[in-house]
Amino acid sequence: MRQLETLTPAFAAFDRLCPAATDPVGVAVSGGSDSLALLHLSHDWALARGRDLIAFTFDHGLRDASAGEAARVGEICRALGRRHETLLWDAPINRQSAARRARHAALARALKAQGGAVLLTGHTADDQAETFLMRARQGSTWYGLAGMQAVSPSPVWPEGEGVRIARPLLTARRSDLRHVLTSRGAGWVEDPTNDNPLYERVRMRQLLTASPGLYLRISRCLADLTGLRAVEDVRLGRWLRDHVRVSGTALIQADMTMLGPESAARGLGILIQGVTGRETPPRRENLQSLADRVQSPRAFAGATLGGAKVSRQGAIVHLVPETGLDGPDPLLIRRLADLQDLLVGQA
């Protein structure tokens, strides 16, 4: 079954992304083909490695069939001998950004309540190609075009503190995953939104289906870009470790002189997230403009971006929150350290 023929017996991606530990590994399962295949493969891996595995299904409550689909996932988990929890959204809003945040927050809370820190998700090589096209249309840099990372911090804060999102199937095709299910006599749910062209991802999926050669070209680009991004992430992680300090007068102090223009913009984004607690960095063009001004030999009068006040004294850049905190906050310091550890770990 092409890539999965080697993945299933070797469990290479699972071993790499789920460090040896006694805590349970979580797996997010919606009932669609990708996540159900992930459930079966992670079950095989956990059985072989003696690891505890618990499945979570987030019921958005936006479709009449969602409760039944979650119950069906529970039945599959019981048949496999795995624990399963259905998580309910108590205030459903039919907006993708709100649904994504509610889902990740609930998953992170539930996983930490079980003592876990790694959540597996079923993103595939097809998802990567779709993401590439979406980001290319939006004018992303090469760094963004590298797509989703195999491991990343939970995208919500502070609920996701300490939680890693791991994607062991990023090199697997959706067709191969469906073959895994059919070979085991397992069915899956087809979400009607997956065929709705109102969503950009669906339009990109249809474009890839109509142009098989396009996927191969994107895959080659992704392979190169992923390696470049790993090098950049390690560089940024070491910069955070060696050239960024937290003090009682300026929450963050950073020497940015050794960073190139693009890296400086990324570094500023990380620091602004750290000092404000926001879940996403400011827009790339705003970060690049600020980084250029900060690194310019000309006088810098200071600026405010993304809820952070940025100033410069000599070669050192200072960041403090625009409102609220007047000194180091332990939670935000831990977040900065967590990002440093993750980036350095990309090596």
How high is the pLDDT of residue 278? 81
User: Could you tell me which residue, 161 or 57, shows the higher pLDDT?
Assistant: 57
Lowest-confidence pick of 23-27, 172-176, 245-249, 318-322: 245-249
Cα–Cα distance for residue pair 347/235, rounded to 1 Å: 9
Which tens digits make up the pLDDT trace of 101-110?
999 999 999 9
Residue 11 lies in a domain: yes
Instruction: For residue 327, name the pLDDT band (cuts at 50, 70, 90).
Output: very low
Asked whether residue 183 falls in the same domain as residue 289, the answer is no
Asked whether residue 147 falls in the same domain as residue 262, the answer is no
Cα–Cα distance for residue pair 244/242, rounded to 1 Å: 6
Cβ(159)–Cβ(137) below 8 Å: no
Asked whether residue 193 falls in the same domain as residue 56, the answer is yes
Residue 218 lies in a domain: no
How high is the pLDDT of residue 110? 98
User: Could you tell me which residue, 273 or 165, shows the higher pLDDT?
Assistant: 165
Number of domains in the chain: 2
Geometric angle at alpha carbon 159, from 288 and 339, rounded to 5°: 40
Residue 85 lies in a domain: yes
Asked whether residue 263 falls in the same domain as residue 132, the answer is no
Average pLDDT over residues 174-193: 88
How high is the pLDDT of residue 249? 56
Asked whether residue 238 falls in the same domain as residue 326, the answer is yes
Residue 127 lies in a domain: yes
Asked whether residue 206 falls in the same domain as residue 240, the answer is no
Between the alpha carbon of residue 107 and those of residues 25, 161, 163, 237, the distances in Å are 12, 12, 10, 27
How high is the pLDDT of residue 125? 95
Average pLDDT over residues 284-305: 95
Q: Which domain holds residue 65?
A: 3-210
Asked whether residue 30 falls in the same domain as residue 160, the answer is yes
Instruction: Look at residue 10 and tell me whether its pLDDT is greater than 60.
Output: no
Instruction: Look at residue 292 and tell me whether its pLDDT is greater than 50.
Output: yes
Asked whether residue 130 falls in the same domain as residue 27, the answer is yes
How high does pLDDT run on average in the chain? Answer: 89
Asked whether residue 238 falls in the same domain as residue 193, the answer is no
Residue 103 lies in a domain: yes
Q: How does strand 25-28 pair with strand 118-120? A: parallel
How high is the pLDDT of residue 19? 85
Asked whether residue 239 falls in the same domain as residue 331, the answer is yes
Instruction: Look at residue 250 and tell me whether its pLDDT is greater than 60.
Output: no
Packed helices 174-183 and 33-49: angle between N→C axes, nearest 10 degrees: 70
Q: Which residues pair with 161 in a beta bridge?
A: none
Instruction: Look at residue 326 and tell me whether its pLDDT is greater than 70.
Output: no
Asked whether residue 337 falls in the same domain as residue 206, the answer is no
Q: CATH number of the domain that 162 lies in?
A: 3.40.50.620
Asked whether residue 77 falls in the same domain as residue 194, the answer is yes
Residue 225 lies in a domain: no
How high is the pLDDT of residue 329? 62
Q: Which residues pair with 252 in a beta bridge?
A: 319
Residue 222 lies in a domain: no
How high is the pLDDT of residue 325? 53
Cβ(267)–Cβ(284) below 8 Å: no
Q: What is the pTM of this model?
A: 0.88
Which tens digits make up the pLDDT trace of 139-179?
999 999 999 999 999 999 889 988 999 999 999 999 999 99
Residue 122 lies in a domain: yes
Percent of the chain with pLDDT over 70: 93
Percent of the chain with pLDDT over 90: 69
Instruction: Look at residue 133 and tell me whether its pLDDT is greater than 50.
Output: yes
